[in-house]
Amino acid sequence: MTDALVLLVVVPIAASLFPVALGGRFERIGWFVAAAMGLVHLGLSATVAAQVLESGVISYAVGGFEPPFGIELVADGVSAPLLVLVSLSTLGVLAYARRAGPHSNAFYSELALLTAGISGVFATADVFNLYVFLEITGLATYALVASGRSPRAALASLKYLFVGTIGASLYLLGVGYLYIMTGTLNMADLTGAVASVGYTSPAILTSFGLIVTGLLVKVAVFPLHTWQPGAYAESPDTVSAYISALVSTAAAYALVRIIYAVYTTKFLDEISLAGDALVALASVSIVVGAVLAVMQSDLKRMLAYSSVSQFGLVVAAIGLANETALVGAVVHLVGHAVMKGGLFLTVGVFATGLGVRTVEDFAGLAAKAPISSAAFAVLAFSMVGIPPAVGFVGKWNIVVGAVEAGAWSVAAVVVVSTLLTLAYFGRVIERMYFTAPEPEADAVSTDGGNDAVEVSFGMRAVVVVSAVAAVVLGVLGSDLITVIQPALEVYF
Amino acid sequence: MSAADGSLSAYVESTIIMTTVRVVSPFVFTFGLFVMFHGAESAGGGFQGGAIVASSIIMLAFAFGIEPTREWLDDSVIRLIVGVGATTFVGIGIGALAFDGAFLEYAAYGISHGVKYGIELVELGIGAIVAGVIVSLFMNLAGGFNHDSGGDDT
């Protein structure tokens, strides 16, 4: 039954073949293949999660080659919830894409490949295997971003391709240094091997710098975020939601694994500069991302910069090397995925149904689309961090962790970021509910509505479900923490 | 259409090139297969072998013109090659599960030298994927941007 772990990666790869192979014969088979894959994936990730709840950690040796020589897959309290998150996000995005598209078979092949890559990142316990999955994730994302029809989408994809490849190469170079020094690629094996080489060894320090920088590019932390706003804003709404929910999340998860499982907190204690630099960079990212978000008029671009800020929070918590903060970081990863994916889909519903894309257009929207507007408001307030929603649970743990670690500056930055988050979401919500629509704006929205497709029940349902999920996850936050905590405790 | 016309007129038939390619390409193709088959025991493998096989086809396209090559090797054929390659890999991996092995555990099949044959089949599968993808990338690029390939994305 432990095969479920490897099948989480294999099933999406197999599913990505069908739309290509059968595409010539059946025009729109892609969605059905992807939906079947999503359901199987959910079954598998639920199986893995049940096993993790029962026995703590499960490990799988690919090909029967025992680790540290073979490739090992591991699921624990951190990766299991994230794997379930992948399944649910896939299904949610597919429910949305049924009507909204893109409808091409190529799109669903790429989506399945992306699912495989992200599942692999969450499941692997091998640093080189992690590189392979990061590249699968990256390549599928480049193609998905380019599936937007505008030339700007192609440009955004190309930019992402260049920057993302540089990031992945830096990571690979870092892995090379690690391998030369230790002769192993298995994460659990590396823990001891790195310690025996010595944390102050220049090669180990170089590898740390290269790996972390490479992953930070993928996480999109300021100033390495330049690919991200374009990629999120120019791609189709379906793609924006999926990649904003999972792609940077996968990279941030990889960062947690590498820093805590490979280099460990002892490394962070000994090389205090490493943690300090991470925290400093992340703090800048939190503030600058939020300020840039306030300045945007295009809503998708605003949400994209908001992610730069929110991932700053996660990286700051990683750099603090404090257990509470790290738990908060993982909770915030899950929460951010639900919230940001939901927000992008809500914006997609507004854009398809009413043709509004900028903050200006949002005036009086609540009267026209009350349910979606309510969902947007709930998700936005959750992102700000208002209890009982999930945004609060993550941020609260990060703040408490920062105070425990004595990093008052981080605590202050998180509080300031909450205010800034309120600033950029507040102005949208204020327009939606309290500004009367201008007659001109009305004309624009009907113009946009002409070539738009009808908003389907599935599209609305996903938006509402994500808003409800953000609140329910917040209420169940302590349960989520009891699952996550044991897996992170071992690092401290 | 204008781009396709342009690339056709840019093509010049050369007896020397055509003869050389006709002689050389079967050897290159065979060498590609040789490299793929050596993935199990020595230096070699699907990636390198696939790239060499693809180069033999690209060489044909250079010598005999891209449009004739496209007619000879249709896009659906390339798609099929990629699909078969990937299916081989995934099939061998999952097949081992049916024999109570781990994913990709070749020994589980219980055939003598099963590990070697398993790896070789997987390498052939990878080679088919790599060759197919390289050739289709080349053909797409050679098709130019006015070529009506955008229909695929709508």
Task: Enumerate chain A positions whose Cβ falls within 8 A of a Cβ in B.
Answer: 3, 6-7, 10, 13-14, 17, 20-21, 23-24, 60-64, 102-104, 106-107, 147, 149
CB < 8 Å to B153, chain A: 102, 104, 106-107, 147, 149
Residues A273-287 as b/e (b if ≥16 CB within 10 A, e otherwise) read ebbeebbebbbbbbb
Task: Give pLDDT, residue A137.
Answer: 94
The structure's pTM equals 0.89
Q: Count of residues for chain A?
A: 492
B45 three-class SS: coil
SS3 B91: helix
Whether the CB-CB separation of A145 and A163 falls below 8 Å is answered with no
Structural domain that includes position A424: 271-492
Do the Cβ atoms of B103 and A24 come within 8 Å? no
Domain assignment present for A144: no
Query: Both tokens of residue B13?
Result: 């038939």
Q: Which residues of B touch A3 (CB under 8 A)?
A: 97, 102-103
Nearest to A104 by CA among A242, A236, A228: A236
pLDDT at residue B36 tops 80: yes
Rounded to an integer, what distance in angstroms lies between the CA atom of residue A186 and that of residue A309?
Answer: 32
Choose the closest CB to B83 out of A17, A104, A147.
A17
Three-state secondary structure call for residue A74: strand
Query: How near does any CA of chain B get to the CA of A255, in Å?
Result: 27
Q: How many domains is chain A built from? A: 1
pLDDT tens profile B42-99: 778 889 999 999 999 999 988 888 888 888 888 888 888 888 898 888 888 888 888 8
Domain annotation covers residue A265:
no
Query: Are A147 and A110 contacting, i.e. CB atoms less than 8 angstroms apart?
Result: yes
Query: What is the 3-class SS of A102-171, one letter each residue?
Result: CCCHHHHHHHHHHHHHHHHHHHECEHHHHHHHHHHHHHHHHHHHHCCCCHHHHHHHHHHHHHHHHHHHHH
Quick one: pLDDT at residue B9?
A: 55
**Which residues of chain A make contact with B86, given a CB cutoff of 8 A?**
13, 17
| pLDDT tens-place string over residues A223-255 | 888 898 988 888 888 999 999 999 999 999 999
Q: Cα separation of A212 and A228, whole Å?
A: 18
Decide if pLDDT at B149 tops 50: no
pLDDT, tens digit (0-9, with 9 covering 90-100), for B103-120: 888 887 778 777 888 888
Chain A closest-CA separation from residue B29 CA (Å): 25
User: What interface predicted TM-score (ipTM) does this complex get?
Assistant: 0.79
Residue B146: predicted pLDDT: 56
Using pLDDT thresholds of 50, 70 and 90, give the confidence band for residue B1: very low
pLDDT value at position A447?
41
The structure tokens listed for A287 are: 């503030």
- The amino acid at A325: A
Q: Which residues of B touch A17 (CB under 8 A)?
A: 83, 86-87, 90
Query: How many Å from the N-terminal Cα to the C-terminal Cα in chain A?
Result: 31
> A153: which chain B residues are within 8 Å (Cβ-Cβ)?
none
Q: Do B104 and A62 touch (CB under 8 A)?
A: yes
Q: How many CA atoms lie within 13 A of A143 on its CB side?
A: 17
Q: Is residue A471 assigned to a domain?
A: yes
| Domain ranges, ordered by start, for chain B | 2-146
What's residue B32's pLDDT? Answer: 92
What pLDDT does residue A453 have? Answer: 66
Question: A222: which 2 tokens?
Answer: 């300021």
- Residues of chain A falling short of pLDDT 50: 441-451
pLDDT of residue A210: 95
